[in-house]
Structure 1
Amino acid sequence: MTTEPAPNKLQRLWLSEAIRLREEHAGPLEDREANRRAQAAGGDLAERIQARALLLAERDGQLQALRHWLQGARLALAALLLLALLSGIGLALAALGDGQRPVNVFWALGSLLGLNLLMLLGWALGLLLARDSSGALGRLWLWLSAKLARDARAAQLAPALLVLLQRQRLSRWGLGVLVHGLWLLALLAALLSLLTLLATRRYGFVWESTILGGETFIALTQALGALPALLGFSLPDAELIRASGDNALASEAARHAWAGWLVGVLLVYGLLPRLLLGLFCLWRWRRGCAVLRLDVGLPGYSLLRERLQPSSERLGVCDAAPAQWSQPTAGSNPQDSQGAVLVAIELDERRPWPPALAKGIGDAGVIDSREQRQRLLEKLSRFPPARLAIACDPRRSPDRGSLALLGELARTAAATRIWLLPAQPGEALDSERLGDWHAALDQLQLAHSDSAPLRWLESGHD
């Protein structure tokens, strides 16, 4: 059985924004346990907000929805990569044709680079004029990702991601990596297809125009070929260009010169700009992600300040640790827990309690009210025990509230056992109700027994 990887920094911030948007639209969530566990985890307010959001997302299924959304995003990316690959091959085929007719060099160049240059110009203008420039491919990817996720709980994820990234204007750089990467793949596919066609077919090259003269084409051809010539690509001379205006030259040298010129122009003015811009966007994306933070001044986060970072804690005041819990540490990490505690839930007043306890076993008393429950949970979260025994009266029904409390208490300790108390003299236990307790505790995966776990509390073994 494989375990899902823990969310990274960006995903934790993303979930925090999604939870905030959800609470803005649907109202506050029931978050007492999440707040308590986030408070016990420590850290500044932003870290506690992220811990709370992760706990709520795990409980309500938004973490799973995030994984579904990412899976949909990967499928959408795969579809766009395939589209880019096929489009690049189509560009090369449209540029050179079937070889039966001479190739108009500037018509071929327009087929290879025209749409790319127009889209590049649109991206640059959007970058300069708009707050965030995602491009048509970027918006298409986001739309496909949401469609392929197929999870109603993912409704807030895409808006939350955009809101988060827009604070550092990161959406333009993240989607820029995607857009330039897709165009780079398309142009690379076009270049490889172009080389394949040139290697397997014989093409003649001409230029044709009704209103432009030969000198204009000579100047334009040499201007475009100047940079590729610096990289070693061939540059047709003026006589060859002038002669190609009448008909396709039959000489092998002329075909090689035009083919080298076309490949060089595609590489220099097509692939290299997309590669450089993609690397630039990637650099800006990583740099922005490194400094990305939650805006804790937002109203949705400001309301959490007192719940996650109480004034008493910010001033450095906290309750004194009990004597039996030496060197306490916050959190529920088994490596940081120590000591043993016995607690009882809703016992009959006629039952004598507590039993005789060995030295070093803490008595947390009997939990009867919500206030007692909250105080105990906060204390156990702050000073987690290594062993926790919870005594329950099996004459009571295992209702949802009691089982939820058992689960919360168990999460504060390294190891937990449930003690189902035996009947008092003159009383009998209902076997059916006792079976309900066993089934419910088995479902919660909590160890339980009818005998007193006092030796286990004292030594760690029976």
Structure 2
Amino acid sequence: MNTALRETDWLLKDAVVTEAVQLIEQTGPLDDAAAMREATLAKASSTSRITHRANVLGERIGLQAELLRAWHWAPWVGLGLVILVVMAGLSLAGNVVGGSERRINIMVALVSLLGVHLLTLLLWLAGLVLPLTSFNTSLGWLWMALTARVAGGKRGQAPVLLRAATQLLGRARLVPWAFGFVSHCIWALSFAAVLGALLFALAFRSYTLSWETTILEPGFFVNGVKWLGWAPGLLGFPVPDASTVLAPIAGPAEQRDWALWLTGCIVTYGLLPRIFFAVVSALVWQRRKRHLRPDLAQPYYVKLLARLEAMAPASIVDGDPGFVRGQSPVGLGAGETSDKQVLVGFELPEETPWPPAGLPPSIAPVLHVDGSAGQRHAVLATIGRLRPRTLLMACHAASSPDRGTERLLRELLTHCGECRLWLMSGDEAARGRWRRWLGDVGLDRIKACDDLAATLASP
């Protein structure tokens, strides 16, 4: 049995539902008899049958319906978070430029506008290299948790779907990238709104930008402005020199440089990093999203695969390349056969009663073949001598037809007028497999029936 996933693309919805069913069954198995039958009859690989079973069970307990509601609410919840963060950013910008004296302390403004952003960004970067297990404080996790709460409430299936999605993300090593993408996008929109409000205020009002201190040396601010202005300077933003920083009263030109330096710092250390890491997160998502699938090496899935394989129809094996498919042997004509009807049991299980009860007296003799070469030759010799009008061959439907079965039928067809199969002790899927096999090997002139009465009554 191969438990490795060979499919390269499990749909995210199917993967979440499959993982959620596994989490639900940790507390006790579900009644999956119907789901297992449907999955077994599906013409797909074993791994796809696991998904099929999970989807059938998920429909019954409402997983897909709740997941659909989550997809519907997710963009609206995200929009609400964006609005909240943007309003917070605008409030900070208003505090920076909204003073009645129209004086801006540039260092306080930088800390106010970039402090929380830089702290959360550093925590996110640390989570990429350190074995951190929780990103529950990120805006991405908040978005997912709020979406689950809005979609399903406390009593629905949303909590287990949330756990399933988180487990899949963790297994694919996508937790920081998925949550980070949402967080970076929200922060980028917030900085865009802050910059718009800041530039509008600085463009149409007159402000005095300066720095103040009680215990720090002036040289600290000279070096701070120089270091912080290095990256914005690469983008063309002006950097006030030491004389401008130390000047007690700055002129209009210097005030303009201060304003653009502050704007450049927000763009360089706030907006651009968030845009960059949002793009990186999206690229990593695209590269790793194929790994968003259940781990079939877990004992739960190993047992499930074994159950599915045990229920799967046996495959047809050992096809005979010696015969041309589509050509059926020509039987004996009406004037070349006797009036006899002969019943042959072929490779029947030992527990099968033989001869079967209720046979009409017209059927004689009743033979049996256990698969040995000697018995095959004996039966062929008997049929060749009797030349029966009708040959009835009883087969165990749950067994698999193979090359030996095909060869025997072809040889028997040349010694009788008509051959019919009685498919014993099998379900409809097994009988259907035999009928398809007869057509595939070119023996479709042989009629296959479910019971002895139908076999005798076949035209």
TM-score range relative to shorter protein: 0.5 to 0.7
Give the equivalent residue in structure 2 for 1:425. Answer: none
Task: Give yes or no for contact 1:132–1:169 (8 Å, CA) kept in 2.
Answer: no
SS of match in other structure, 1:155: helix
- Deviation (angstroms), 1:315: 6.2
Task: Give yes or no for contact 2:124–2:176 (8 Å, CA) kept in 1.
Answer: no
Whole-angstrom distance in 1 between the partners of 2:431 and 2:258: 80
Whole-angstrom distance in 1 between the partners of 2:189 and 2:33: 50
Flag the 1:131–1:374 CA change in 2: closer, same or farther, 3 A. Answer: farther
Uncovered stretches (5+) of structure 2, i.e. residues with no partner: 1-8, 319-325, 327-423, 437-459
Alignment RMSD: 2.9
Q: Is 1:19 matched with 2:71?
A: no
- Deviation (angstroms), 1:314: 7.4
Q: Is 1:48 matched with 2:100?
A: no
Give the equivalent residue in structure 2 for 1:359. Answer: none
Uncovered stretches (5+) of structure 1, i.e. residues with no partner: 1-6, 319-325, 327-371, 385-462
Q: Is 1:143 matched with 2:145?
A: yes
SS of match in other structure, 2:427: helix
Whole-angstrom distance in 1 between the partners of 2:435 and 2:169: 38
Give the equivalent residue in structure 1 for 2:271. Answer: 271
Cα deviation code 1:161-216 (max 9, x no counterpart): 11122112212211111111111111111111111111121111111111222222
Residue identity matched to 2:151: A
Task: Give yes or no for contact 1:16–1:54 (8 Å, CA) kept in 2.
Answer: yes
Residue identity matched to 1:242: L
Select which of 225, 232, 235 maps to 1:228: 232
Give the equivalent residue in structure 2 for 1:86. Answer: 87
What is the TM-score when the length of structure 1 is the normalising length? 0.64
Select which of 165, 170, 174 maps to 1:166: 170
SS of match in other structure, 1:294: coil
Residue identity matched to 1:38: A
Structure number with greater Rg is 2
Task: Give yes or no for contact 2:127–2:176 (8 Å, CA) kept in 1.
Answer: no
Cα deviation code 1:249-306 (max 9, x no counterpart): 3x32122111110111111111111111111122112211123332112122122213
What is the TM-score when the length of structure 2 is the normalising length? 0.64
Whole-angstrom distance in 1 between the partners of 2:168 and 2:213: 52
- Deviation (angstroms), 1:86: 0.8
Select which of 191, 196, 212 maps to 1:192: 196
1:1-16 matches, cutoff 5 A: 9-16=11-18
Whole-angstrom distance in 2 between the partners of 1:379 and 1:285: 47
Give the equivalent residue in structure 2 for 1:296. Answer: 296
Select which of 348, 364, 375 maps to 2:427: 375
Question: Quick check: 69-78 or 296-305, which moved more?
Answer: 69-78
Give the equivalent residue in structure 2 for 1:216. Answer: 220
Residue identity matched to 1:190: V
Task: Give yes or no for contact 2:14–2:51 (8 Å, CA) kept in 1.
Answer: yes
- Deviation (angstroms), 1:317: 5.0
Residue identity matched to 1:60: I
Task: Give yes or no for contact 1:21–1:160 (8 Å, CA) kept in 2.
Answer: yes
Give the equivalent residue in structure 2 for 1:396. Answer: none
Moved over 4 A (4+): 311-318, 377-384
Q: Is 1:183 matched with 2:184?
A: no
Residue identity matched to 1:148: V
1:270-419 matches, cutoff 5 A: 270-310=270-310, 317=317, 375-376=427-428
Cα deviation code 1:14-61 (max 9, x no counterpart): 100011111121x22222332232233333322111121112212332
- Deviation (angstroms), 1:309: 2.5
Aligned length: 322
SS of match in other structure, 1:217: helix
Cα deviation code 1:361-393 (max 9, x no counterpart): xxxxxxxxxxx9992267669999xxxxxxxxx
- Deviation (angstroms), 1:83: 0.9
SS of match in other structure, 1:54: helix
